[in-house]
């Protein structure tokens, strides 16, 4: 093989690799971005500013369509809190527990000024994914920072069976 032919094979291999990366199945990030776009399509305008004075800890309710399509990030680091919320692991099938989550903006968060903490029963269970936090910020831009938001949530997973197979808990929000 000549140097020219080796070069063409090399370039062809690079083209195939780049094409394969381009058509690879949707990654978690693209799924989150797709979810964010779907939510933005439903919520074109921000929540209107309150007409009455608000005080720290006031709540606003956010309701979705019952799809629970927003996966809470970081719940793997909050397994003890989720175990406490559910009262233990559930044999074989795991949990599908409907709860109410509280969303709290964290503009002082050193990692992300748009961070939105998710709590259930006063226990941190994770954050809204970083890719969706700016969307949430747009939605609530007229609401004072001292206010929190209530949203339906679903705790899933958390199974345990006899063969030492344990499932992690996860949380999904209905926004």
pLDDT for the residue numbered 137: 81
42-to-18, 35, 38, 141 alpha-carbon distances in Å? 35, 11, 7, 17
85-127, pLDDT tens digit by residue? 887 776 565 678 899 999 998 989 998 888 999 999 999 999 9
pTM tops 0.75: no
Sequence-ordered list of residues with C-beta below 8 angstroms from that of 162, at least 6 positions apart, any chain: none
């Amino acid at each position: 093989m000549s140097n020219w032919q080796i070069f063409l094979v090399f370039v062809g291999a690079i083209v195939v690799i780049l094409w394969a990366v381009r058509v690879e199945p949707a990654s978690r990030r693209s799924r989150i971005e797709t979810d964010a776009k779907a939510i933005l399509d439903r919520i074109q305008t921000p929540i209107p500013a309150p007409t009455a004075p608000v005080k720290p800890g006031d709540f606003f309710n956010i309701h979705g369509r019952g799809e629970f399509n927003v996966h809470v990030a970081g719940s793997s680091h909050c397994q003890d809190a989720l175990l406490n919320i559910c009262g233990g692991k559930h044999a074989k099938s795991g949990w599908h527990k409907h709860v109410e989550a509280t969303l709290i903006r964290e503009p002082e968060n050193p990692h992300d000024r748009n961070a939105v903490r998710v709590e259930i029963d006063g226990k941190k269970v994770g954050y809204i994914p970083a890719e969706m936090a700016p969307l949430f910020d747009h939605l609530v831009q007229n609401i004072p920072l001292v206010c929190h938001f209530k949203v339906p949530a679903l705790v899933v997973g958390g199974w345990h069976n006899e063969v030492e197979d344990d499932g992690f808990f996860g949380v999904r929000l209905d926004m």
